[in-house]
A and B are shown apart, each in its own frame.
Chain A
């Protein structure tokens, strides 16, 4: 099992847990530390002996301490100790308390798989068609009501929105939830949140309302759309792609996938992990989304800066981005990524993508031979020809210091306004991959 400190940090529920775990990184505090093919375990001997164990197969963990944080500081500390000082862990067969726990986990997994199999009843096509028809009706009614609401806004003038309370938007968003159009509901809330937040809000809000109306029009005229665009439009409205649909219409690509970006967005109840992968042979870029309630771990482990060999299933659409991992193998391939070295080419690609899907938020990009520069307090990424894009950076000075103004390669997302830089490779300092 190979673990990096970044991965362990990612697992931590909060920064406090990381700090607390650091205080336990003393070998004298740990007893009976061991590792086997199935698990990793140790006893944290700090007065009360806590049994800490990790299931290597899927990074499941357990500790006998009463902490309400998952994983607790003991688990984080043990994993860190393993990453830093693997020699402290004896390679032996699991003690009984670890074996019992792993066996129970395997049993539970097996039972869950059995239950899932049982659930796979033959599809009742008639009932499903009925359900879809009912939902279509609801969505259509929601859209009709939304169109009238939009007309009203325009009739009164966008300027009046400044005086409207947020409930004005929230009520409409809730009505769309009732109409089973979750995608539209989210858009309404986002527009409502951008009112009166900047000087150019009238332009941004008007444009967003225009794009929203365009989406409603597209949905109401689905029969005139290409199949791939229809998939896009329906997903934007709130229709999900079922597993069966994904398998039928999705695009399967097998490649060595280099995980070049990873972010975790936290909602009140849900954590969303967005990982971007680049196909080293196909040069396809895939967005791998994972969701986890509360502080639970994500089902799949995507190691940032590492390559995995596997088959990805791309969701249907005009500009397929989102994908699902269906099969994975270990890969030791060293990434040799080649990006675009002209910003104009990226902009052309963006224009083409918007031509196919006008509601596209952003496109991923891999740029090479670019440098970071600053003009009028704005940071720009520029190519060799001096063409630049304004960019959004968490740590511009780190990039600048590491690259020394020399060309480097980056991965990011261009949304038409700002280039969000997620990771970069510097030609200096051994060309290390760095995530921001």
Chain B
């Protein structure tokens, strides 16, 4: 055939002498006798050859693949499969982690139809969950698609490999890869990470230097001190700032000592009549010469006074233990002591910064609760910027609180606030993990129902924007309460908002229905 094609390509059809198709030669001879042009005769031969070639196709010899392992666990029902499919749609994808973790917990195997769809989701955040859900059959299937290699990849890091391969990546990788390598090395071998960083530090861009330097916060020790002190003379202000922050966490460093000496000059204690203790903060009008060298910022952000900013900057780098030891006061007493001072807000912001930066590692629950109390009180402040700051600080404090306690505190906040509709409810609920406890769910539902019946103002309408978050988080015990009909304030009926409110409630109930049906089906599928 090749000779025919070669001849056809260049139009040299007369030169073909292919005898490999012996059985076709008599047929070709008959074609040659036909009263046709040589080109037509040639094409007829090609037509014959092509047909014979197609007809003569032989099967390939291919090895079969090993069969999938058979699971003995409970099988998912058709109805449950439909619900999972539904949850895979964009609108309800937030429910997927809850559904999958329940299936894993109840040892229910998903159907084989769902396995490729789940693997295709490729959601890196849920990979562990998907890996557990798809089970052995999923692992078996993943071997046929290179994109699903993560299913069988191990999470354990081989430290010996890390040092050789990772060092190579450190030298040739992109910024993100190098940062990731440095973080990994720092976890397993802090000294090696320090060494790597020191070797190349001066050649890096300022923004890279800053990010690389931040990795030293893991496993920070006195061994890093001399390097960090040398970085205090870096040409970039932002790099100096990180170095200063890290050094302030090393109690024996000269920076930490210098910071404490400065702070001690700024904050003093007065014991008034009747033994009442008051703290006073009096920041200087000009900064000491080595201020910038210690990695502090000089210019405050727009809307904030200089002294207040300096106070926050300095106090955020002082260990909270120092204050307690120096004044012999508990966290509550310290906060109460400063409350009447002009710079009280700046001091407490600084203490909060210090708590978030290193206080939570020491498990200082007393500070945690005292600061939580202060900032929740600030949520009622008349200035919007203070409320925003309080929300931000509460979020950071929340991250240091264990989940159950966090939920209790938030529930308490909802119960005790004089008008919960004024709270940034969506933001606050986002600090909770799914799913809520029964009491939290009941509290939210009661509050929402009351708001929607009694009020018709903007704040009550805004509160309803949190319904979808609640729909995904309410505990299964509260589904019945959530699904009972909702009454809305009669004044809504005459406003344009009514359609939107009804839609929000309908969406909320639809989501609850889906979760309700899911748990119902799970009960039916459980192994007897």
- A residues with a Cβ closer than 8 A to B are 26, 147, 150-151, 154-160, 202-203, 206-214, 217, 343-344, 347, 350-351, 354-355, 358, 371-375, 380, 382, 386-390, 395-398, 400-402, 404-406, 416-417, 428-429
Contact = CB atoms under 8 A, between A and B. Distances in A.
B62 A202 contact: no
Most A CB within 10 A of own CB, among B8, B61, B66, B144? B8
A382 B522 CA distance: 38
A387 B63 CA distance: 9
A417 B64 CA distance: 20
A405 B65 contact: yes
B48 interface: yes
B323 interface: no
B269 interface: no
SS of B interface (majority): helix
B64 A157 contact: no
13 contacts: A156-B11, A211-B51, A343-B59, A344-B59, A388-B62, A397-B119, A397-B144, A398-B116, A400-B144, A401-B116, A405-B68, A406-B68, A428-B112
B112 A429 contact: yes
Contacts of A26: 506
A253 to B, nearest CB: 27
A351 B54 CA distance: 8
A386 B64 CA distance: 7
Closest 5 CB pairs of A and B: A210-B46, A214-B47, A157-B11, A404-B68, A210-B47
B38 to A, nearest CB: 9
B67 A154 contact: no
Contact of A405 (B39, B54, B61, B66): B66
Given A154-B13, A374-B65, A386-B64, 6 more contacts: A208-B50, A372-B65, A373-B62, A396-B144, A401-B115, A405-B68
Nearest to A354: B55
B113 interface: yes
B43 A416 contact: no
B9 interface: yes
A211 B51 CA distance: 8
B112 A206 contact: no
Contacts of A375: 60, 62-63
Most B CB within 10 A of own CB, among A26, A210, A405, A406? A210
A16 to B, nearest CB: 15
Range of interface residues on chain B? 35 or more
Contacts of A202: 5, 8-9
Contacts of A206: 4-5, 8-9, 46
A217 B44 contact: yes
B271 interface: no
Given A351-B55, A375-B63, A429 B5 contact: no
B56 interface: yes
Contacts of B56: 351
A203 B5 contact: yes
Contacts of B67: 404-406
Given A206-B4, A214-B47, A373 B40 contact: no
Contact of A213 (B9, B11, B47, B145): B47
A401 B113 contact: yes
Contacts of B116: 395, 397-398, 400-401
A299 B369 CA distance: 74
Nearest to A344: B59
Contacts of B141: 397, 400-401
B115 A347 contact: no
Nearest to A19: B89
B40 A210 contact: no
Given A206-B8, A207-B46, A397-B144, A382 B64 contact: yes
A386 B47 contact: no
Nearest to B50: A207
Contacts of B506: 26
B483 to A, nearest CB: 15
A354 B54 contact: yes
B161 interface: no
Nearest to B31: A217
B49 interface: yes
B497 interface: no
Contacts of B65: 371-374, 405
B111 interface: yes
B10 interface: yes
B145 A151 contact: no
B379 to A, nearest CB: 38
